[in-house]
Structure 1
């Protein structure tokens, strides 16, 4: 069963190195930190160069909720916490994309081929510094990741040959233990001349996305795998405002709702979706409820978001074609989106 999408709790918190406790250094760190927050919230790594965002970064103090200093290894750091509501309001005002904070949990498998030692699987236990760098990049992008423990069970479910071949069936079998929303598989190859090449495959929602990376170190190409996966998932799930401001009504039918508690959870979930501006209950018939969702999101974007909830299972469409050959549009009253609550 697919796992519930992970909600990122510290999306609006960053740590910046500073040379002193002076006001100017704090203001500069506040601007840098706010740019990092905008990258997390929008999913766009180039958002800081957007002309709409640059003036906001100069006013970073207005969005700062709290800050504190700390020292580690004789270096001074500033812990910054920003106001989620103020930033969300500004993002909407500027009509920037929004990547909601319930994001696909991603299981990361990696195999390496070095000139000296040949081919092997990578584990957190054997390469703690590398995996710490991957964790840091995942936190920077707001992408929840998990790494297999690489014990005998994992080695049996995901043999090295299958991992190197990026076998999607093996990935599906091996994922049963962890229940991720997405699987990222990487094969990292050491080349001559201190160069590295990595081939990555992201598997999510019945689709596969291949991309590559090159660099001067194992860490560099590994980090780019996390970064690339975040780009792809943000592209799929970010809510992009319609320049026309047009809102559409989508009819959604949920069956299997046989208690008031289930109704409340389903209703709260729909109301909380970033893709949905309102969710109005239209009717209740036994264990079946109909909602009218108001959304500016594309239909596929909305369906992708709904698929992240493990309690909603998409149902096969009833035949929406009448005797004249007319096909009712998906999301209409005659052809609603159909899900079952379980």
Structure 2
């Protein structure tokens, strides 16, 4: 829906009102990531016949639907089979590329609008591009050997670290492992194995992250088991998964974590274009570039349909934000951008808005804080 509030006039007001404002803005440390490849997939193909390409199109669409929805079972929803059979119609582009072993692969980009429409028609959730960054501390014991998984740069065909990273990429879950220099820290390894969250939180200082996953992997009954704790930004979960082999265990672990986050941040596809609106008051707006950055940041959030300025006063702008889903989901998505610091209540002038009973959220803009990684590329 379009929102018309004479925004050009208001923008000129922003230029005049805030250009001379000056304040110090604190910096804090959230590092949500913009996942820019949600609608892309690359799958192996055994040939270029019509039937072989059709299978590749379907496999690619299945990957995209899971990544965008956050639901690994999304392709089993009623009505989804027809869309999968017509996967080619959702393509924006495709090309043949060579894989690591010189095998043929089909690289595809699907239409975001078309994929979201499919999810809406089947009542599936849509999880936006702005996603929290998980720092995963994972200790693995295989027989008598115990070690900590770290960023090693190993090839995608080897090792636990690569299995975890590859599965996280498939699910669109931004995930990092500790730097390689932590691998030799035996005390730290013991803390991860014991899942001492306080010590691990302190050890994570200085490493970009929004959430902490602390995982213990061990052989058990001829297979593998991973026990995990997941904490941060209102999340405190624990559990365990089992599998017959490392690859299956990595998939089960990442799928569980991705599902937990999707349940919090995704909005129901069926709610698209039918959402309510609220007022979002932002203080600390010092320049036209701040205004533009705020509007761009809000527009990129998954639950947001449209953003328009309603009122402009010195240091403060009230936006009208049309959104899908619950207000709490919108707040959770905004919290991933550390430039928005939530304020208690609405402390600003409400003149001219007495008849507006829509919800109002209040934030202070921290322009010097770190923007979600990848936002500048959008």
TM-score over 0.5 for the pair: yes
What residue in structure 2 maps to residue 173 of structure 1? Answer: 202
What residue in structure 1 maps to residue 105 of structure 2? Answer: 77
Structure 1 residues 242, 70: closer, same or farther in 2, change over 3 A?
A: closer
Gaps of 5+ in 2: 1-27, 348-355, 367-378
Q: Write out the 4+ residue segments of structure 1 that deviate beyond 4 Å after TM superposition.
A: 241-246
What residue in structure 2 maps to residue 141 of structure 1? Answer: 171
User: Which residue among 31, 37, 40 is the counterpart of 1:4?
Assistant: 31
Contact 1:188 1:222 (8 Å CA) reproduced: no
What residue in structure 1 maps to residue 40 of structure 2? Answer: 13
The separation in 2 between residues aligned to 1:273 and 1:125, in whole angstroms, is: 33
The separation in 1 between residues aligned to 2:323 and 2:291, in whole angstroms, is: 21
Gaps of 5+ in 1: 320-330
What residue in structure 1 maps to residue 10 of structure 2? Answer: none
In the alignment of these two chains, the number of paired residues is 329
What residue in structure 2 maps to residue 313 of structure 1? Answer: 341
- TM-score scaled by length of structure 1: 0.86
Aligned Cα root-mean-square deviation (Å): 2.8
The separation in 1 between residues aligned to 2:362 and 2:267, in whole angstroms, is: 22
Give 1:81 shift: 2.4
Structure 1 residues 131, 244: closer, same or farther in 2, change over 3 A?
A: closer
Greater RCO (CA < 8 Å, at least 6 residues apart): 2
Give 1:28 shift: 1.0
- The one-character-per-residue Cα deviations of 1:117-152 (angstroms, maximum 9, x if unpaired) are 2x4322343975222221211111011111111425
The separation in 2 between residues aligned to 1:278 and 1:318, in whole angstroms, is: 22
User: Which residue among 63, 71, 78 is the counterpart of 1:51?
Assistant: 78
User: Which residue among 85, 92, 106 is the counterpart of 2:134?
Assistant: 106
- The one-character-per-residue Cα deviations of 1:155-185 (angstroms, maximum 9, x if unpaired) are 49x7223212322222322332222121211
What residue in structure 1 maps to residue 51 of structure 2? Answer: 24
Contact 2:35 2:174 (8 Å CA) reproduced: yes
- TM-score scaled by length of structure 2: 0.79
What residue in structure 2 maps to residue 292 of structure 1? Answer: 320
- The one-character-per-residue Cα deviations of 1:268-324 (angstroms, maximum 9, x if unpaired) are 2222322122223221221111122222321211110000111111123369xxxxx
What residue in structure 2 maps to residue 129 of structure 1? Answer: 159
Give 1:74 shift: 5.3
